[in-house]
Amino acid sequence: MSGPRRDPDMVRPYVRTQGRIRAREDVRLESVVIAATGPTDTLGPDARRVMRLFAGADGGLAVADIAAALELPPSTVRILVSSLMDSGHLASPVDATDDQPDFDLLQEVLRGLRSMV
C-alpha cells in the first residue's frame, strides 16, 4: 500500500517565507508596492517570482494582485512582500497607516447605518 499522494507544488507557507511568520503591519492586501533596482540572485525562488512580476509592470502592484498572479495564499504573499521591503527590493510609495479614517468618524457612520435598519 502506498502513502498519501503528494502534490510536488505543495509547499508549506513557512518554507516559502523562510520561517518568517508575520508581515510588517503596514503591508496589507490593498497595499501597493513598487520594485527597486538591485540584484535578485540571492533571493529565494518565491521572492524571485514576486520580483519577476514587476518586469512588465508600469508602476506598482497591490499585494492582492501579486497573490492572485502567483496563486499563493495572501498571508504568505504579505510576508514575502514584507521581507522584500525589509531587504530594499520593494518599496511602498504611500504609507498605509497614513490613509486611515478617523475612529470617531467610523463610529458615527456605524451609528447612522444602524439607525437605518
Q: How confident is the model at residue 7 (pLDDT cuts 50, 70, 90)?
A: very low
Containing 111, the helix (H) or strand (E) segment is: helix 103-116
The predicted pLDDT at position 8 comes to 47
Mean pLDDT (whole number) for 44-71:
88
Containing 33, the helix (H) or strand (E) segment is: strand 32-35
Mean pLDDT (whole number) for 68-86:
89
pTM, whole model, 2 decimals?
Answer: 0.64
Per DSSP, the three-state class of 28 is: coil
